[in-house]
Chain A
Amino acid sequence: MSESTVSGLGRREILKLAAVAGATFAGAGVLASASANAAEDGLSLKGKRVAISATGTDHYFDLQVYNAQIEEVKRLGGEPIAVDAGRNDGKLIAQLQTLVAQKPDAIVQILGTLSVIDPWLKKARDAGIPVLTVDVGSTNSLNNTTSDNWGIGKDLALQLVSDIGGEGNIVVFNGFYGVTPCAIRYDQLVNVIKYFPKVKIIQPELRDVIPNTVQDAFTQITAILNKYPEKGSIKAVWSAWDIPQLGATQAIAAAGRNEIRTYGVDGSPEVLQLVADPKSPAGADAAQQPAEIGRVAIRNVAKLLAGQTLPRETYVPALLANKENVGEITKKLGIG
């Protein structure tokens, strides 16, 4: 693709592309949720003990998945064994070990760094306990329920490129490439901007951290704004989730550099509120449906225990909230 065709691809075309992609995606989503509802009839976890292991619940996404799973297990008549590792890898592994000793009917692992948890998921599987995951594509998991992160990454990247008119410097937070969904979203950003040679990722990339993500992002963005003081020298800030986006948005607003737009993923209520604010630099937030993801994962456990075969991955649709449609989306998510 030559540069002239790229620059010829205007904002409208990019948005059109995004709309087509979005429609396809939404169509697939409707199918997915329809089939989930249809299959719900007759599902039961009566007499079953289902272990729910959360990496942490300090983030909106994790907490929604975790709570929805506990409720869904109870609703289907089962007994949840829920453990929360508080984002401590050592504690997470200890809890998984103890869960294996408890011999539940299934273990559902919510998130986690693949290289850390995978050997222990394998041990659970070797002990004859079916393992399912949320947002971790492990070979030791029978089914992974997740948002379509390829779709999320692509949609968010197209929105970003469209908003900045296909050219300019962007700042990228890439601190958790070891976490599969973050890696996919980042790779999709790189895939999209490959075709927009005038879009440049400022090097070195920033690394978002846990905990104190918001404060840390605020500090890092403030520093980079000082390094690039000219208006227009930075067009956008991208992060694989929306908590660094929150800190970045605050830093940009505090520095009076509202020409810069921020982009993230997850649909935390506070970030969606910023997207809704016409004066805020928050450009877009790909909102996942964590509670639905949690419920679908538990229904998958019930299906598995009823002898059904599960697909490798179950996708729950995500909704890209931008300045234009954010009201509609928050209403759909029930947090408006």
Chain B
Amino acid sequence: MSADIQFGSLPAITGDDAPRSKGNLAAAALRFGSLLAFASILVIFSLTAPYFFTIGNIGNVLGQSAIAGVLAIGLTIVLIAGGSNVVTGGIDLSLAANMGLSAAVYASLIQFGYGDATAAVGAILTGLAIGAVNAAAVVLAGIVPLLATLAVMNIVAGLELVLTQNTVVPASTDLLTAISTSDGFGIPVLAYILIGFTAIVAAIVQYTPIGLRLYAVGEFPDAARAAGLPLKRLVAGAFVASGLCGGIAGILSVSYLSGSTTGSGEMLLPVVVTALLGAVFSGRLVPTITGTLISALFVGFLVNGFQLLNLPSTLVSGVQGVLILIVVSATTLLRKREI
């Protein structure tokens, strides 16, 4: 995580050494603690849940996490560029609805007789357009992201209703079948897509100057402005990137569900939880792409393990809630100490 290291060495923010190192220690403890917790959950499930530790099942969880993972990564980019203040910071509430509309556009274009290429371009453009509207509302109109993306979410959900009449639009093409199949080892293609997508985005966000600037804009906007960074352009870019993720997730979801289905809005909260939980898997408790991937897998393995242990699925959302509460309160307490 080069971004972490670079920030750690910035002299301007080091401040008083003693409390900071204490904070870092606690952050490191939390980080390794959470990784340890993740690892021990995996070990416990491997020992107790039949079929858990099989290549096919692990591949399944990766594949099942792909759609939520891609969306959460999109949200993570906005969280990085907008800062992590839950009320005034970066957030994109339109992401799940974006996925729904992009999927609906894809499935509808297939229904109208167009090919995969046109449909895929349609879905990606839909995602990008939604991202651009978010960017304009936040950067040009100056609306707080929470409200701007909430409004856009409603517009997008409405458009999806108009397009699909709230019904399932089935779609079946060669590309969709190819995405939803598994390879010779029983690992779904979606699993490879998730890993590949994460690698590309992580490379951009965590190992290029653009990524570093995004972090700077989100965490120290005044310093970034003083350094001459184009704040507005970077924030707008983050929303467009997030929109692109919505479009890509839309295509994946059409493949996974053999068409566009209703109820995409239900993805929103799990995606927000995944992106926020991701911070705990980074060294400085900030959102990172790899942290978000680990978080998505953490939630995925938890749900999967519960099912394999034959525990009621109703417990899962409760456990997710407890986890997010622990993580958010821990990070908040640590942040306070840092200041």
Contacts and interface: CB of A to CB of B under 8 A. Distances in A.
A89 B314 contact: no
Given A90-B67, A116-B257, A177 B167 contact: yes
Chain B contact surface mostly: mixed
B51 A90 contact: no
A176 B180 CA distance: 25
A210 B259 CA distance: 18
A210 B131 CA distance: 28
A197 B236 CA distance: 59
Contacts of A91: 313
B50 to A, nearest CB: 7
Interface in B194-234: none
Interface stretch (A79-87, A132-140, A242-250, A284-292): A79-87
A11 interface: no
Interface stretch (A94-102, A221-229, A260-268): A94-102
Interface in A115-148: 115-116, 118-119
A91 B64 CA distance: 9
Contacts of A97: 60, 63-64, 188
Contact of A90 (B170, B256, B304): B256
Contacts, number: 82
Contact of A93 (B257, B303, B308): B257
Interface string A283-310: 0000000000000000000000000000
B307 interface: yes
Interface string B249-269: 000010011110111001100
Contact of A209 (B166, B188, B267, B304): B166
Interface string A194-228: 00000000000001011000000000000000000
B263 A89 contact: yes
Contacts of B6: none
| Interface range, A side | 20 to 34
Contacts of A87: 263
Nearest to A49: B310
B307 A98 contact: yes
A116 B180 contact: no
Nearest to A94: B64
Interface in A64-87: 81-87
A102 B266 CA distance: 27
Nearest to B317: A86
Interface in B34-74: 50-51, 54, 56-57, 60, 63-64, 67
B226 to A, nearest CB: 45
Contacts of B63: 97
A71 to B, nearest CB: 15
Contacts of A84: 312-314
A93 B303 CA distance: 13
B68 to A, nearest CB: 8
A108 to B, nearest CB: 15
A132 to B, nearest CB: 20
Nearest to B264: A90
B28 to A, nearest CB: 34
B261 A102 contact: no
Interface of A: 81-91, 93-95, 97-99, 101-103, 113, 115-116, 118-119, 175-178, 207, 209-210
27 contacts: A83-B313, A85-B313, A86-B313, A89-B257, A89-B263, A90-B67, A90-B257, A94-B60, A94-B303, A94-B304, A95-B307, A97-B63, A98-B60, A98-B304, A98-B307, A99-B307, A102-B307, A102-B308, A113-B261, A115-B168, A115-B170, A116-B257, A176-B167, A177-B167, A178-B167, A178-B168, A209-B262
Given A85-B313, A99-B307, 6 more contacts: A81-B310, A89-B261, A115-B170, A176-B167, A178-B168, A207-B167
